[in-house]
Amino acid sequence: MMFGDEVVVSGIGVILPNTRTVDDFWGNISGGRSQVGPVTRFDPAEFDVPIYTAAELADFDHHPYLPELSDTHADKYSREVLVAMSAVAEARRDAGLAALDVDPRRLGVVMSSSRGPLGWWRAAILGDDSTAFADKGAMFRGLPGTPASLSAIYTRAEGLVTTVSNACVGGHQAVGIALRELQVGAADVMLVGGHEFPILAEVVRCYQALGSGVISAERDDPTRAVRPYNRDREGFALGEGSVVLCLERRAHAEARGATPYATVLGQRTLNEAGHATTMDLTGKITAGLIGELLEDVGRTPDDVDYYCAHGTATRFNDLAESRALRVLYDDREVTALPPISSNKPIYGHTFGIAGIINVAATSLMLKHQTLAPTINLTEPDPECDHDHVGEGRRPADVDLAVSMSFAFGSQTSVVALAATG
Q: Name the pairing type of β-strands 306-308 and 340-341.
A: parallel
- Check 172, 195, 252, 310 and give the catalytic one: 310
Helix axes 170-183, 354-368, angle to 10 degrees: 60
Catalytic residue among 168, 246, 308, 384: 168
- Of the residues 62, 172, 349, 386, only one is catalytic, namely 349
Q: How far is CA 21 from the centre of its chain?
A: 16
Number of residues that make up the chain: 421
168 carries an active-site annotation? yes
Query: Please, which residues have CB within 8 angstroms of residue 108's CB and are 6 or more apart in sequence?
Result: 152, 157, 159, 160, 161, 178, 181, 187, 189, 190, 191
CA nearest neighbour of 267 among 326, 327, 190: 190
Do 233 and 381 meet the contact criterion of CB atoms below 8 Å apart? Answer: yes
CA pair distance 258, 250, nearest whole angstrom = 9
- Minimal CA–CA distance to 222: which of 394, 401, 348? 348
62 is an active site residue: no
SS3 for the chain is CCCCCCEEEEEEEEEECCECCHHHHHHHHHHCCCCCEECCCCCHHHHCCCCCEEECCCCCCCCCCCCCCCHHHHCCCCHHHHHHHHHHHHHHHHCCCCHHHCCHHHEEEEEECCCCCHHHHHHHHHCCCCCCCCCCHHHHHHCCCHHHHHHHHHHCCCCCEEEECECECHHHHHHHHHHHHHHCCCCCEEEEEEEECCCCHHHHHHHHCCCCCCECCCCCCHHHCCCCCECCCCCECEECEEEEEEEEEHHHHHHCCCCCCEEEEEEEEEECCCCCCCCCCCCHHHHHHHHHHHHHCCCCHHHCCEEECCCCCCHHHHHHHHHHHHHHCCCCCHHHCCCEECCHHHHCECHHHHHHHHHHHHHHHHHHCEECCCCCCCCECHHHCCCCCCCCCEECCCCEEEEEEEECCCEEEEEEEECCC
User: Catalytic amino acids?
Assistant: 168, 310, 349
